[in-house]
Amino acid sequence: MATHAASQSGRSGASLRADRRDSDRIQVKGLWCDRGQVLDLSERGMRLNTLRRWSEGFSRTITIVDGPDRASVEARVVWCRQVGMFSHLVGLAFIDPTPDAAHALRRIAERQQADA
């Protein structure tokens, strides 16, 4: 089905997946977690600016606090790119967040979107 939709639009499946990811992401400003600065956020993952390189495939717990909402989720490193001497961008995918964590992430994302 996705292949059919991609062929009708003249775009690859990867391009459609990237568009879907982009539409779910919320650009954030001034949001930090215990591992660095959050650059964008969705219910499925986030992009983070951090001081150190993270190994792809590595998992760790990330805690985001924004106002009354706190979300601690296990996240897997999908990619990592060095962008400065002490600056790395990290793409993270959340691993099975609890319903409470998913709800807190939604509220944080909604608050950030409203503040933008």
3-state secondary structure the chain: CHHHHHHHHCCCHHHHHHHHHHHHCEEEEEEEECCEEEEEECCCEEEEEECCCCCCCCEEEEEEEECCEEEEEEEEEEEEEEEECCEEEEEEEECCCCHHHHHHHHHHHHHHHHHC
pLDDT tens column, 44-62 = 999 999 999 999 999 999 9
Output the pTM of the full model: 0.77
**CATH for 25-115 (3.40.190.10, 3.30.360.10, 3.90.950.20, 2.40.10.220):** 2.40.10.220
In this prediction, residues 7-31 reach a mean pLDDT of 60
